[in-house]
Chains A and B, each alone.
Chain A
Amino acid sequence: MIEIDGLTKRYGDKAAVDGLSFVVEPGVVTGFLGPNGAGKSTTMRMIAGLDRPTSGTVRVNGKHYPDAAAPMAELGILLDARSVHPGLSARNNLLALARTAGIGRRRVDEVIELAGLAEVAGVRAGGFSLGMGQRLGVAAALLGQPQTVVLDEPVNGLDPDGVRWIRLLLKSLAAEGRTVFVSSHLMSEMAQTATRLVVLGRGRLISETSVEDFVGHAAAGGVAVRTPEIARLRQVLAAPGVTVIDDGTDLLRVSGATAEQIGTAAWREHVPIFELTPAHASLEEAFMQVTQDSVEYHAGATR
């Protein structure tokens, strides 16, 4: 579990993270979204104790992480920027980290295998592609079988096979009861993997919710309806809060009523319906709406 309370990080008079509070629960994958520069990586570095908060607290599994007796058992982290030594082989990079916690070679070989790096384990990491570097970083994060796993842009640079691997990995980590906190720019990827969402804009919390609610709350496109009897359908649906927009195509756009309500009402009055399609906002649309608002709000507020 990660508990963040009133977390603030200032560089000079610019706040990279501003009064952030949220909780990342174990057992589910929590996605961390926000435009570039929203403060995601800074937050993740503060979780790992690499950056010191200006104010506020971060607790990992109920503890102040830098005080943890066995840090690798508590937290495994993949940071955005590369954090491996190019002069060391993949195996030695992992071994150097493993040694600090008394983790043996067998476990190192296990995560090498798990990350699909067995064939390049002896190769110096400097020659690695971005994708292989990511795999090595993920392997490092898993090394200590940590209770909490934090990954910054894990699918960055991965091939489709690697993306699939990360997706399955995150879900099974969560299924084991671990806390999984992942940032990504790939909304479609996040929609498939995450259950919960923490959305950040300009260093502030915009939303802490489930993926379902986040998408549902975003102004959806309503329901697209095709019928030969437009006028009668309007009568049937007439109610406060329901709008029917006829933009001249043969598809009406109805908002303020669900597809189920529209279908049932039309069936009762014998209005034929040829098509009835709920137009869900995608996670990407929802994200754009929500963060756009925050950007505008903050831009206005600083004037």
Chain B
Amino acid sequence: MSALGLAPKGPAPTVAGPVTQVRVIRAEWTKLRALRSTWYCALIAVVLIVGLGAAIAGSGAPYHVSASNSAAGAVSISLAGVMLAQLVLGVLGVLLFSGEYGTGMIRATLAVVPSRLPVLWAKLAMLAALVLPLSLLAALAEFFVATALESARGGSAISLTDPGVLRTVAGAAVYLTVTAVIGLALGALLRKTAGGLAVFAGMFFVVPIVAAYLPHNISGFAPYLPSNAGGALWGAGKLFGGHQLGPWAGFAVLAGYAIVLTGLAAWRLRRRDA
């Protein structure tokens, strides 16, 4: 028997085919699916969104829709768990790359995909394909649990078809997906889990909180911070008040961060030694 389990005469025909984007996506899915951290992060994110939403809807004064208190506003408030879930999904994104650099698997990965960029696109696609439906389901579940609790306690009955409600629920899911992508780009760019997490937490928690306490004449940049800009998509700005961008302008700014960081990550992945 030959070393490769083939006929002993001459180099055997190979089983290995060309690298394609679809194949690299399958490879990345194999990893993402088999890693425990993926499912821990997913579970924690869902529990945070639904659990915190239920806690908010089930306590305090029942919400009554009025001219100053919109139905969508009630949904935004009960979706506050998104603010915590974004950290967990950001971790998932960071880990997707930093985990490979930390363990050394990146060398095996890039040795079989030496053109490299397909790996980034595949991870991006897999992450979005996991986080978008997951957070959409979580936001919808949270919506139905929270509205059921509110109306049981005598609050206004809110429907998905009320103005801005569907956009708020779907917007939260889109927001979480883009933040996870930002996490992924940071992981690829910084290569270290600790560094990626620190920058992510700085961008989404520390800087926005500091900005909220700055005098108005120097806090003009605050609406353009990723969490504030993206928050406009699902009404998070109403939680904190202050000037904010319109939903789609905010989304465009958030997407801008993701695109620029992903571009930098692609450039670094291509240029630097693995």
Contacts and interface: CB of A to CB of B under 8 A. Distances in A.
B17 interface: yes
B129 interface: no
A85 B109 CA distance: 10
Contacts, number: 171
A234 B85 CA distance: 91
Interface in A18-40: 26
B272 to A, nearest CB: 8
Contact of A177 (B10, B20, B24, B274): B10
B112 interface: yes
A84 B115 CA distance: 20
Interface stretch (A98-106, A212-220, A251-259): A98-106
Given A85-B105, A100-B24, 13 more contacts: A49-B110, A49-B111, A50-B111, A51-B273, A51-B274, A65-B114, A71-B16, A71-B113, A79-B107, A84-B105, A99-B30, A104-B15, A147-B11
B114 A145 contact: no
A102 B36 CA distance: 25
Interface string B104-129: 11111111111110000000000000
Given A89-B34, A100-B113, A145-B16, A172 B2 contact: yes
A228 B274 CA distance: 66
A196 interface: no
Given A69-B19, A103-B15, A144-B15, A87 B4 contact: no
Interface of B: 2-6, 8, 10-20, 23-24, 26-28, 30-31, 34-37, 99-100, 103-116, 271, 273-274
Interface residues of A, number: 58
Contact of A49 (B14, B16, B114): B114
Contact of B15 (A87, A95, A145): A145
Interface of A: 26, 45, 48-52, 65-73, 75, 77, 79, 81-89, 92-93, 95-104, 107, 110, 114, 140, 142-147, 168-169, 172-173, 175-178
Given A45-B273, A50-B111, A97-B112, A86 B103 contact: yes
B273 A84 contact: no
A73 B28 CA distance: 20
A47 to B, nearest CB: 10
Contacts of B3: 114, 142, 168-169, 172-173, 176
Contacts of A85: 31, 35, 99-100, 103, 105
Contacts of A89: 34
30 contacts: A45-B273, A49-B114, A50-B273, A50-B274, A69-B19, A71-B112, A71-B113, A72-B16, A73-B17, A79-B104, A83-B107, A84-B103, A85-B31, A85-B35, A92-B31, A96-B27, A96-B28, A99-B24, A100-B24, A101-B15, A102-B18, A103-B16, A145-B12, A147-B14, A168-B3, A172-B2, A173-B3, A175-B8, A176-B6, A176-B11
B111 A48 contact: yes
Contacts of A77: 111
B110 A50 contact: yes
B240 to A, nearest CB: 37
Given A50-B273, A100-B113, A83 B104 contact: yes
